[in-house]
Amino acid sequence: MATLKALRDRRKSVQSTQKITLAMKMVAGAKLRRAQERVEAGRPYAHRMRQILSALASDAQALETPQPLLIGRGGTNIHLILVATSDRGLCGPFNSSIIRQVRKMITSLQEQGQTVKLFCVGRKGKEMLAREYGSLIIESFTDVGFPRLRFTEAQRIADSMLKMFEDGLFDVCTIIYSHFRSAMIQEVTTTQVIPVKIDVDQQEKESLPLQAVYECEPVEEEILNQLLPQNIAVQVYNALLENAASEQGARMTAMDSASRNAGDMIRNLTLTYNRTRQAHITRELIEIISGAEALS
Amino acid sequence: MSVFPFILISPEKILFDQEVSMVVIPGLDGDIGVLPQHAPLLTLLRPGVVTVYEESKILVRVFVDGGFAEVTPERCVALVTEGTPLETLDKAALEIEIKNLLEDVADSRTPEERKQADQNLGIAQAKLMEVLTIQKLR
């Protein structure tokens, strides 16, 4: 049986751990709220952009010079996977579930005989993939969006992706990130960004000005030239925002259950501690009484 | 006087969303005045000032650093990278910024860096120009 002192120390250490996890939970909760607001704030832009893009894209096939960002380059041999993870740990299964999805995708693509390259955003993803797929990582960004994600950062990432695309380093690009459903639920999501997949849902389609013949200034092609790269940046930005919210959500949930576990542990330790103390006292009493009896 | 909704959005937030009677947006080849029932138009925006009118008064002036605008008879939507209300821009600060950016342009080594620096400089210069114009008007 452990000594009283050992038990006391043990309980103290669990208590301070609980304090930390509780504090982390609170911080994550506050950050989550802010991250959520930013996700909401980012939606209108992305939504409008998709509308404009789909209005333009519908007759983009007829353009003289095809837009590789829109319809691809024909080949789909080299896949680039943009892996969006967090920089910090202690957020439950957040990073590992993203990485699991990435692994699955790499394996299935490689089985089809395609080349896979990785672009890591976030320190954790890079660390976790480096062991197995270190040679596939062609670019990585860390400390993005700290303390707060700005659009310019997403643009920087998008720019470096676009440059690689122009240099012919890949044909298809997919982002894997965690979509924020609620603090409890985060969904790992796979979105193809290059070439752009435009899926306008029925409702959006109807709200579109039907066959609106837009006057374009300058020509349609020029606009697409600007719109498509911007769209990539917006997609990256959105993915990173969703990821940030998911990360905080996952951390909050993880820290909540950690605090609860610590609470259980403290209760058990206190119980054992009290029992041991009682046993000590009883033993000492017995010793005194039996000593006294022996004398009389 | 009839009104129509004008929405100014940046990726980070909605900058302006209100019924207005007229907006003037900085099109690539010149300013475009948009009134209700404007013909459908899709245009690129250059760095410049978006002026929003209510009745015949100017409601706000916002400096935008380029983007797109979609005009339909019912509404006008401008997607910009960043927007700053014109009155928050400061002439002295801009002059310093331009000086720094000029150095950036001189320091840039790769063509990409050069392009980026040039672009930033262009935006800052456009900002300064607009600030000066406003001052003259007053």
Closest partner residue to B40 (CB to CB) among A42, A212, A222 is: A212
Indicate if the pLDDT at residue A165 is higher than 50.
Answer: yes
Q: How confident is the model at residue A139 (pLDDT cuts 50, 70, 90)?
A: confident
Q: How confident is the model at residue A58 (pLDDT cuts 50, 70, 90)?
A: low
State the burial class of residue A234 (Cβ atoms within 10 Å of its Cβ: 0-12, 13-18, 19+): buried
Closest partner residue to A151 (CB to CB) among B11, B14, B68 is: B11
Q: How confident is the model at residue A142 (pLDDT cuts 50, 70, 90)?
A: confident
**Does residue A234 sit in the same domain as residue A262?**
no
Domain count across chain B:
2
**Does residue A12 sit in the same domain as residue A42?**
no
**Does residue B123 sit in the same domain as residue B76?**
no
Q: How confident is the model at residue A62 (pLDDT cuts 50, 70, 90)?
A: low
**Does residue A157 sit in the same domain as residue A55?**
yes
Q: How confident is the model at residue A203 (pLDDT cuts 50, 70, 90)?
A: very low
Indicate if the pLDDT at residue A204 is higher than 70.
Answer: no
Average pLDDT, chain B: 87
**Does residue B126 sit in the same domain as residue B105?**
yes
Query: DSSP string covering B25-38, please?
Result: EEETTEEEEE-TTP
Q: Identify the pLDDT of residue A43.
A: 87
**Which residue, among B12, B16, B32, B80, would best test binding to A if mutated, counting the most A CBs under 10 Å from its CB?**
B12
Nearest-CA distance from B68 to chain A in Å?
Answer: 8
Q: How confident is the model at residue A202 (pLDDT cuts 50, 70, 90)?
A: very low
**Does residue B53 sit in the same domain as residue B93?**
no
Please answer whether residues B127 and B47 qualify as being in contact, where contact means their C-beta atoms are separated by less than 8 angstroms: yes
Per cent of chain B over pLDDT 70 is 99
Omega prior to A147 cis, within 30 of 0? yes
**Does residue B79 sit in the same domain as residue B109?**
no
Instruction: Report, as residue numbers or ranges, the catalytic residues of A.
Output: 91
Q: Is the CB of B14 inside 8 Å of chain A's CB atoms? A: yes
Omega prior to B26 cis, within 30 of 0? no
**Does residue B41 sit in the same domain as residue B8?**
yes
Nearest-CA distance from B98 to chain A in Å?
Answer: 19
Instruction: From chain B, pick out residues whose CB is under 8 angstroms from the CB of A215.
Output: 39-42
d(CA B20, CA B54): 5
**Does residue B62 sit in the same domain as residue B117?**
no
Q: Is the CB of A260 inside 8 Å of chain B's CB atoms? A: no
Per cent of chain B over pLDDT 90 is 29
Host domain of residue B113:
89-137
Instruction: From chain B, pick out residues whose CB is under 8 angstroms from the CB of A222.
Output: 44
Average pLDDT, chain A: 86
At what angle are helices A151-166 and A220-295 packed, to 10 degrees?
A: 120
User: How do residues A85-96 score in pLDDT, each as one tens digit?
Assistant: 999 888 888 999
**Does residue A77 sit in the same domain as residue A160?**
yes
Task: Tell me what the mean pLDDT of segment A252-277 comes to.
Answer: 95
Closest partner residue to A217 (CB to CB) among B7, B27, B67 is: B27
State how far the alpha carbon of A222 is from the alpha carbons of A32, A56, A227, B94, in Å.
39, 11, 9, 30
**Does residue A279 sit in the same domain as residue A184?**
no
A148: domain CATH number? 3.40.1380.10
Indicate if the pLDDT at residue A178 is higher than 70.
Answer: yes
Please answer whether residues A80 and A164 qualify as being in contact, where contact means their C-beta atoms are separated by less than 8 angstroms: yes
Nearest-CA distance from B59 to chain A in Å?
Answer: 23
**Which residue, among A39, A50, A159, A217, would best test binding to B if mutated, counting the most B CBs under 10 Å from its CB?**
A217
Indicate if the pLDDT at residue A124 is higher than 60.
Answer: yes
What's the token pair of residue A241? 């925002």
Q: Is the CB of A237 inside 8 Å of chain B's CB atoms? A: yes
- The pTM score is 0.85
Task: Tell me what the mean pLDDT of segment A196-219 comes to.
Answer: 60
User: How do residues B30-44 score in pLDDT, each as one tens digit?
Assistant: 899 999 999 888 899
**Which residue, among A40, A210, A215, would best test binding to B if mutated, counting the most B CBs under 10 Å from its CB?**
A215
Name the A residues in 6-25 with CB < 8 Å from any B CB.
none
**Does residue B81 sit in the same domain as residue B96?**
no
Task: Tell me what the mean pLDDT of segment A63-92 comes to.
Answer: 81
Pick the closest to residue A237 from A169, A173, A120, A150 (CA basis): A150
Q: How confident is the model at residue A59 (pLDDT cuts 50, 70, 90)?
A: low
State the burial class of residue A202 (Cβ atoms within 10 Å of its Cβ: 0-12, 13-18, 19+): exposed
Q: Is the CB of A163 inside 8 Å of chain B's CB atoms? A: yes
Task: Tell me what the mean pLDDT of segment A255-280 comes to.
Answer: 95
**Does residue B65 sit in the same domain as residue B30?**
yes
d(CA A292, CA A132): 72
Q: Is the CB of A38 inside 8 Å of chain B's CB atoms? A: yes
Helix H or strand E encompassing B72: none
Host domain of residue A153:
32-253
> In terms of pLDDT, which residue wins out, B134 or A274?
A274
Domain count across chain A:
2
Sign of CA dihedral A19, A146, B13, A94: negative
**Does residue A121 sit in the same domain as residue A267?**
no
Instruction: From chain B, pick out residues whose CB is under 8 angstroms from the CB of A227.
Output: 68
Q: Identify the pLDDT of residue A92.
A: 87
Does residue A165 come out as left (phi exceeding 0), alpha (psi in the -120 to 50 range) or beta?
alpha
At residue B45, what are phi and psi to the nearest 5 degrees? Answer: -110, 145
Which range has highest mean pLDDT (A54-63, A224-233, A282-291)?
A282-291
Indicate if the pLDDT at residue B8 is higher than 90.
Answer: yes
What's the token pair of residue A129? 């993939």
Closest partner residue to A45 (CB to CB) among B10, B41, B42 is: B10
Please answer whether residues A186 and A202 qualify as being in contact, where contact means their C-beta atoms are separated by less than 8 angstroms: no
Please answer whether residues A236 and A157 qualify as being in contact, where contact means their C-beta atoms are separated by less than 8 angstroms: yes
Indicate if the pLDDT at residue A55 is higher than 80.
Answer: no
Q: Identify the pLDDT of residue A273.
A: 94
Q: Identify the pLDDT of residue A166.
A: 86
